[in-house]
Structure 1
């Protein structure tokens, strides 16, 4: 079995300070083979916020890989945003903005989908799809980790990243199995399997630490890969309560090139968080 912890949208600088210790305890208790952070480690890309984020990651007792999000580039310092947008992330978190990691039977391919010339909308840069296809291992479970989703549920009103549909189509055909993303502050796991790409399980994380009340809760996920099976644990901490609730579990199996959800139950209700203004939203 290979265990991956997925968290996103920590937003240090607008984070829930009382939850930091509990989140670290849960992550370290999971004894993961790899921790994947899909962007927005900071709220405004400021040096002090990057120091907080780096200090948090240093306390995780497992290998960590992270990619930037749109909040990890300076918002108000316009010259820095456009001339050296990823300087703060590179110095504090890692110079590789699109890292690749292997853990057990899993291969995780990172992608920097952040566009400094857009407040929110992401971009899949020219040549990146070919690079990712070249990194797919036919003997592994292949995972893409990026900040911006490649596909969204119909109720989401944000623009998809540039070239996102092309990336999903081509990477799925090349052997990609899972996409980990964030950005929306809304959880979804398996809801997109019926939306045209059943061979790619898209797991969209909520926010791990952001304290904006409109999000209502913080959360992260633990993914256990065993052969063609996957168990996803969702750990939720409601804003109105202290700490995390017992985890919820979902089970999936991959066969014949498609994923099948093994749990039958009511859909998870969509909480607010995806429709705020550019200066407040994820």
Structure 2
């Protein structure tokens, strides 16, 4: 069993200390094999905010972390930095690679930098990025869970969120599906959900799921949707013809109990003909 933790939109600079402490307790109780951070690490891309984020993730010790930037991780008010060194603070904290990857026996996770300095908050994926990710997906082995990480969503549940959709998704999703993608995970809109992309995009050759996370730590919550993270559990059973199984759990911070609690559980079917997710409330 491989356990992945998806953290999105922590917005250091607006983080809630008690929620950060509760998240560390959750991680201590269920140590993940990888932490995926799907953008908006900071509120305003300031050096001290990146330093706070780096200090938080350093507490995880040897746990590997895959971090992609979000639109908030590019300076907004410092026009010179936005134009000439938009990722300087991000790279100082998390390294030069803006599209990191992680591979183990059971998972392949590919980060995509969907931010653009010339856009305010919208994201974009280029054909070069589409091809690069597809090439890596095509080289994956059959047992691996194949995940693509973007910041902006490739599908939404509400009409008023359509303005936040990733530009270039119409060409990216079908190409990544043909290459073998299983999950496309993201954040940006602080709204957690799981969607079957094979029901959203016409003629996808396989089942592909959008997995969105809410804001992990920030006080900038969305209406009644509080702080939350996703746990992704994956197994490949060699004794069952290599059957691959993935479960996505949504864990929300409960203010009254000062802890993260499981609120939803999605059992996702992989490969084969399209079908809807089996969704059950946490019991």
TM-score range, shorter chain: 0.7 to 0.9
Change (3 A) 1:164 1:255: closer
Q: 1:39-71 CA deviation, whole Å, 9 max, x = no partner?
A: 001000001100000001111241111000000
Correspondence 1:169 to 2:174: yes
In the alignment, does 2:46 pair up with 1:41? no
Q: Which residue does 1:279 correspond to in 2?
A: none
Pair 1:221-2:222 in alignment: no
Structure with the bigger percentage of helix: 2
Quickly say closer, same or farther: Cα 1:246–1:181, change in 2 above 3 A: closer
Q: Match for 2:277 among 249, 254, 261?
A: 261
Report the 3-state secondary structure (helix = DSSP H, G, I; strand = E; otherwise coil) of the residue aligned with 2:249. strand
Against the structure 1 CA distance between its residues 132 and 34, is the aligned structure 2 distance closer, same or farther, given a 3 Å change threshold? Answer: same
Label 1:27 to 1:259 Cα distance change in 2 as closer, same or farther (>3 A).
farther
Secondary structure, aligned partner of 1:211 = coil
Any gaps of 5 or more consecutive residues in structure 1? 266-282
Q: CA 1:215–1:74 in structure 2 vs 1: closer, same or farther (change >3 Å)?
A: farther
Instruction: Describe the shift of the 1:259–1:226 C-alpha distance in structure 2 as closer, same or farther (beyond 3 A).
Output: farther
Q: Tell me, yes or no, if the aligned pair for 1:150 and 1:167 is still in contact at 8 Å.
A: no
- Residue 273 of structure 1 corresponds to which residue in structure 2? none
Q: In structure 2, list runs of 5 or more residues that go unmatched.
A: 237-243
Shift in alpha-carbon separation, 1:255–1:187, aligned structure 2, 3 A: same
Question: How many Å separate the matches in 1 of 2:207 and 2:81?
Answer: 40
Q: Which residue of 2 aligns with 1:187?
A: 192
How far has the Cα of 1:212 moved from its partner?
Answer: 2.0
Aligned counterpart, 2:241: none
234 and 125 in structure 1: CA distance in 2 versus 1, 3 angstrom threshold: same
Contact between 2:190 and 2:222, CA under 8 Å: does it hold in 1? no
Per-residue CA distance 1:113-133 (angstroms, 9 max, x = gap): 011111110011241111111
**SS where residue 181 of structure 2 aligns?**
coil
Q: Which residue of 1 aligns with 2:145?
A: 141
- Name which of 201, 222, 234 aligns with 2:209: 201
- Taking the aligned partners of 2:259 and 2:32, their CA distance within structure 1 comes to 20
Q: Normalising by the residue count of structure 2, what TM-score does the alignment of the two structures yield? A: 0.87
CA apart distance, 1:111:
0.4
Specify whether residues 161 and 248 from structure 1 end up closer, same or farther in structure 2 by C-alpha distance, changes over 3 A only. Answer: closer
Partner of 2:165: 160
Q: Contact between 2:228 and 2:251, CA under 8 Å: does it hold in 1?
A: yes
Return the alpha-carbon distance in structure 1 between the equivalents of residues 262 and 146 of structure 2: 29
Q: Which residue does 1:30 correspond to in 2?
A: 30
Which secondary structure does the structure 2 equivalent of 1:165 belong to? helix
Tell me the TM-score normalised to structure 1 length.
0.87
Whole-Å separation in 2 of the counterparts to 1:5 and 1:90? 22
